[in-house]
Structure 1
Amino acid sequence: MRDQTNTFSILLPLKGIVQPITELPDPVFAEKMMGDGVAIDPLDTVLYAPFAGKITQIHPSHHAVTLQNGDVEVLMHIGLDTVALKGRGFEIKTEEGDMVEAGQPLLSFDPDIIARECVSVQSAIVITSGQEANVAVPFGSAQDDLAQTLFTVPSGNDPSEAPAPSTTQPASTDAPATPSGPRTSGSVQIPNATGLHARPAARLAVVARQADAEVTLTVNGNSCRGSSVTGIMSLKTKLGDTIEIEAVGPDAEKVVKEIEEAVRSGLGEEISEVSEAPKAEVVKETPLLQVTSGEEGVFVGFTASPGRAIGKLVKHSKVLPEVTRNGMGPAEERAAFKASVKSSVADLHSVIERLNAQGQEELAEVFNAHVQLLEDPELSEKPLEDIAKGESAAWTWKRAYEAQAETLAKMDDPLLAGRAADVRDVGLRVLKKLLGVDDGTEILEEGTILLQEDVTPSEIVSLDLTRIVGLCTTHGGSASHAAIIARSNNLPYLVNVEEAMMDLDDGTVLLLDAKRGRVKVSPTDEEQAAFKEKIDNAAKQAEEYRRDADKPAITTDGVQIEIAANIGNLEDAQKAVELGAEAVGLLRSEFLYLERLNEPSEEEQAEKVGSILEVMGKDRPVIIRTLDVGGDKPLPYLPMPTEENPFLGVRGIRIGIERPSILRRQVRAILSQADKGHARIMYPMISALDELRAVNALVREEQANLGVDNVEVGIMIEVPSAALMADKLAEEVDFFSIGTNDLTQYVLAIDRGHPGLASRADALHPAVLRMIDMTVKAADKAGKWVGVCGGLASQTEAVPVLIGLGVKELSVSVPSLPEVKHKVRSVSMEESKKIAQAALDCADTSDVKALLKSYQ
């Protein structure tokens, strides 16, 4: 806070014993390389804001926070060498860019961990904006009054000014004004195990400051002044990153060489081996468990969109012309860049209009997001700055969008990581225009099956589906936007097909069976005729199944299985009724919470749930899963700390346990509408009995408060501990529902979204089936029933195994309802039990699939 003499006061941010900064056992702080300040030996575990201002930086390891107000910037660094903890022992209570008030908690820390594993718990409070500190308390004194002024600094700003934006922001906002003189550039890899945190950043800034030159450092597309310690820290570097150095001025060549040498030497830290030579080409090898068909002329892949097609192969390569760095001139390159972006936006609006006209509003939203990306200054400002330095528009644009995509792709959050594909899609669209590449004008023959490395949403929407009957890619995932678009257009699509397919010649006739994940090469006339007959029969069968959709699913020996639907909104519920759903086995309540900036009110939740219950009626039970979000499915209005492994973190019911007010509002909303239908409540991600009891107590309390009759409650069996403890859990619930998608990834320790391993995350693995068997037996003993709401229930070949294990309800995707009901009607329970027991005795997934094939 400033007084009338423009003296700025920094309050006490940390209770403890105040010491001179020169006594810290770290030369970077002690020699004031980062700036003047004080040291504090903590007597508390919370760091508070010492003045009102803006959080300009939070280190990824959460041990250091930078706060700014006008021309005053202060770095608060908890402990020494705490960067090595990588966030362990720290809890951040704010975010970068937040405006905070004096005295507001910024972070908390565990001093025992720091004392045990780091150099010291002593913490540095440093003025990184260059002013000298006038310390207001005696050194050696213990201070615990957060309203006490720790030190003052001179400030050139008017006291009435609001906190100004930081001058040391990373990326696009930190590029200096264009200086004059000789220009030299270079690059060097970072050999520091923890990147350029405070100590090496300060040493690097000293080297840059000593030169008569303006130095700019760039890492992964983000830039800062070489003289700014906080700017260097904001680059958030890591071991092996390459720093691009650009210097302008009389000492340009000299300072570039000095920075390269200083970085190579570790900037005062031990270095790790990092080669600056170009990376050796990785020799492709065939994995020991390579998924192959084992049949001559047959390739296998992973189903992204089911269906069958006969067609001729056309391979597409994404090789683009070489992108050169030097431009024709800033004016010309700037004009080309702006024209390409404008043209790309116009193209996207055309796609959006076409999709909306076809009733594909959800797909149109994908491309609305692309428009927003092109309008995002963070993506476009950096290229314009580099164009002004003489670089070509194509070069700087490619570097900018690839850097942002790489940053997103490395995030633990799958939603943000998936956003990387959108950034690359948009980036490629603009880049092609800058390079003059004629995109999408190739005239294909009718009956084309396209093969390429991957496909973007833009590309798949632009496909001429009157000519293209199927799609195969050697990369990609079944949950991508492209896969969603393919399914909505009934386009058979296989991902992760064997790369040997690329060796086939264009024009090769293929039989694409995307339902079974197979491609037959150069079939005989007889094979083509038989495959064509399959396609025709499948269409006829689908119509027959739909006509019988309202009939119950009763096995040939008289056992009825309830066939329910997995839904996410009112439209799904209406469609499910049309297609014969006898219940809703899973209402994903997160549809109410996602894609919005604030939590839905209790009234809004009640209205949406009530409308679905009314559509289903009192004779069709509706299982409403409580909010299932978390580290892997974040909410913008529910800040959560970054987790190294979000699938093992705070997700599912753990959100409700940690934030009971959210769970309580949702439960009240459901209970208030229970009389409109047959509502059931289900908790996701239960892993222990104490979790179940805590949540059950909340539900029963709200039932009593509202005077509502007891509503049935159940849990999802998704983690091995729940299956192993199913006998104890069954005593406290009315039913179980097995989520085979998550259960499979936890049992097999395979991320089901991993592009290279997804095909191995198969719920037909005997280990998963044994977990299901264990769960059913425990439920039967307690007199409770078990359903399956995961993806396995929609696989018709798995139906005999599941009902043979004793599953009473199959909750499937809405389009699968008629076919699954038909499948139940075509098998006997006696035979299904035999199949199930044989499957439990199998050694691997392939054995189970061979078993099911033999019975079919």
Structure 2
Amino acid sequence: MSPIPKQLFRCALTSKNIQLGTKIASKQAAIEEAGRVLASLGCIESGYIRSMFEREKMETTYLGKGIAIPHGLPKDRALVHQTGISVVQIPAGVCWGPGQIAYLIVGIAAKSDEHVSILAAVAEICNDSGAISRLARTDDVEEIIYALTTQQHSRPNIEEEKIDTEAIEVVVPKQITLHLQPATIFSKVALTFTSKIRVWYGDKCADGQSVTSLLKLGIHGGTPIRITADGPDAAAALNALRATVEYKLSLGEESKLPIFEAECWKPVLHDWIISGISASNGLAIGPLIYYRPEELVVTDTPQGTHKEKEALQHAVGKVKIQLRQQISQKESQIEATIFRTHLALLNDRELLNKVFQKISDGHSAAWAWNSVITQCITEFSQIENKYLAERAADLNDIRQRVLQLLLGTERRVIPVPGESSVLIAHHLLVSDMACLDSKHIIAICTAEGTPTTHAAIIARSLGIPAIVGAGSAVLDLLPGTICIADGSAGKLYIKPNEETLASARQYQMGLKGQQKEEYQARYHPAVMRDGYRIKVVANIGKPNETIGAIEAGAEGIGLMRTEFLFIDGPPSADEQYAAYTTMLHALDGLPLTLRTIDIGGDKVPSYISTPKEGNLFLGMRGVRLCLQQPEIFLPQLHAIYRASLIGPVRMMFPMVTTLEDFRAAKELAEGVRQKVGAPPIEIGVMFEVPSVIFLASEFAQEADFLSIGTNDLVQYAFARDRLHASSVQNVDGLHPAVLRMVAMTVRAARA
């Protein structure tokens, strides 16, 4: 940790700003206390506290990982006498929103940007779950002051690679392209080791701990790569990275929301048509509006090396905070995942090294940032892999966001039309789509772009018809011109006559009618043709997916993968309880089945210690690991039984291989149940390995229900990794052997 220079940290933080050991029961009281401290220091007028509440109504200030940063609206800066920070520590935590428990409340009153250094430090703390846990319980004011006035600086020089003593060769799974999200996963694992990691692809070499460096390799699935490690933990690093490539990269495969072929509208004869590429299905009618953001003008007018480096740190830190807030606010997992990849780019040390070097060479922060990112965009655009080349748009997005702060210009904002309109633009960035008013923007048509850009992916997730790659002709149309945007066909019909408009409206009505029928029938019971009733439940990985599942017609949650609550850090029992109760309130009496944490194999968070294993899928996994590490298992059991007092909960144990393991897990659960004082709940077992299939009758006697996990069952039955490129064709879930195992399980359950 390196202290922030005093001239960078102009916002004083002393013991007077900090309240330790506070007992607060509500978010409202926490915000009021943070504001009271600021007022007592003379930083604000009392009316600014009201502004803090108004900000909270507009958007949550929960930053994540137990930290909230309440602050007022820009319009009320006149109520700020001087920039100030207050810190309210709540050891027991306070509920900030569904599944959000805040322990540190960092109140902010800012006249300009003097507070950004502390926000950057807060963002760094969010990467360290252990630090948050310590700060939430410390009785030492100086520890909090130190944490908020220091930042991580990790910019080692990238040297020429020497001959490494250890290396491995591994084949990237056939279905994987090493695009932004898999590269992020790989570099995140590599960064947990002190050894220098290099990745070789053909005659090209990349820093394995840098996302942008990895992306430039243009790695295709089904091809070999060579990974080298030089350092004291080289062997462990290579072992972990082999497992990451072979098993874990598929977890980073973003949902690209494929464009399903839709029955297109068939217009009557129409002359004026601009053709592009279908990016999102649907049909919309409305006037055109334009989005023409001004191109940022960057000049090289440095104000001194130190000041320029400070400016860059400020800007990058602030964008990181904006991204974290957007991630926490997005209900769509697709959008949240895209923003996480942008955050990874901002954390890329190779990228930042180059910018800082240019500043050291005498250039301004804005010029250095623009120069380095533009060069990187050029390199990406030249990658042969088309999908990887399109990731240049993500780099352009973070280029724009940071430059806007460095140059002091206003953020790009898509105009909000007074009526439902078709948006025309040269191209759109992800940050543009994030602030798009989907109620009034009923379709999109861009001159450039492809269906696989992240902006197009978000359009599909929002259900907005979109046409991309329509050419410069769309930019010459007059604003207000009535058009028909056919996203399914990738065509824009200009100035349609009444007959064409009537035809399009009739098609829209028919489509809406069909959708309405499907929507109204979503709660009807699912009955097979032979009259057999099937209960349809949903599988989810995040609490906020519950409402969408129920709205889609699910009759409950059949599998909640609780391990995804553990990905970014170990959640406390209270945080888990908050997540489970959030789901139960949304379910409103429908059943919730919680699978206890399934860690191991391809899902091993860095903070969990597991023994070194030659084959991760045959080692400490699921319930075996939980029995070995009760400090992880017991808090979860406690949270589950507490939640069972709120609504109907069932629990099942993953990766059970013997009756002894199942009994041991049930015994621990029973001890927790008695302590909580909860009534018994149904406890089931996952059937994922052949051993339990052959003991199905015995398990059926002791378990309340059985759940078949066919993904793992298939690979263990055939000794073939379902994710490995050489095996994927031979892993068949409908193989007679698999169907017989399913039949054996069903017979045992019915007996």
Instruction: Classify the TM-score, shorter chain.
Output: 0.3 to 0.5
Higher relative contact order (CA 8 A, sep 6+): 2
Larger of the two Rg values belongs to structure? 1
Greater share of helix? 2
TM-score, with structure 1 as normaliser: 0.40
TM-score, with structure 2 as normaliser: 0.44
